[in-house]
Structure 1
């Protein structure tokens, strides 16, 4: 199985909307690190699983959308608790929509919200 991964870090804010969120219910920042990966058993005619530059560009586009903003203010989070799990799915789906890739079978985002905690989302392509 081949894998290609691109990593980007950025700061964004959010506040949790669950009952009794404690201090997480106030706006606070996280230094997120997104690991964006594609995998599949085959390479294309040029020996690529996916064009790394295309993955870098797509990841940058998604990071730029959320960098230095409050996640709660973005439409995908409307009426939803902006958990790191939900953010991983939203981030993954946004990158996949930006990358034109026929060969990979799966895409995954592992989204660190600090040095100790992360969530991931994986989807078949």
Structure 2
């Protein structure tokens, strides 16, 4: 399996109003580094997974909808907890919608998202895509 990873950072505000989240129950900010890996079984005719510029551009588009936003007010998280894991899933799904509209994107086997909030803690989500 081949992979290509791009990363960008973004900042959000949110609250996690459950006892399990301790001091994070209140409104607070977070800066994430989003790493998105695109997986494919065989390289394309240019011997790449997909164009690195296109991959980075799609990630930037997806993160623009989240960057500097209060996720407590974001429609995608209405009635949901915006945990790091849930945010990783949201990003994977949003990236998939865009990337699978491209010829190379339709050949992908999966997308992996890792969100790093600090050097010692991160969470992720893996999205398997239908074989084409």
TM-score normalised by the chain length of structure 2: 0.88
- Report the counterpart of residue 17 of structure 2 in structure 1: 17
- Report the counterpart of residue 119 of structure 2 in structure 1: 115
- Aligned: 1:50 with 2:45: no
Alignment equivalent of 1:106, drawn from 102, 110, 114:
110
- The unaligned stretches of length 5 or more in structure 1 are none
TM-score normalised by the chain length of structure 1: 0.92
* Aligned 8 A contact 2:17 2:26 in 1: no
Please give the per-residue CA displacement for 1:4-36, whole angstroms capped at 9, x wherever unaligned: 000101211110022464321111111100000
Supply the distance in 2 between the matched residues of 1:72 and 1:119 (Cα, whole angstroms): 20
Please give the per-residue CA displacement for 1:78-111, whole angstroms capped at 9, x wherever unaligned: 1011111100000111111111212220111001
SS of equivalent to 2:29: strand
Query: How do residues 20-99 of structure 1 correspond to structure 2 at under 5 angstroms?
Result: 21-99=21-99
- The unaligned stretches of length 5 or more in structure 2 are none
Superposed CA RMSD in Å reads 1.3
Aligned residues: 125
Supply the distance in 2 between the matched residues of 1:83 and 1:90 (Cα, whole angstroms): 10
* Aligned 8 A contact 2:7 2:34 in 1: yes
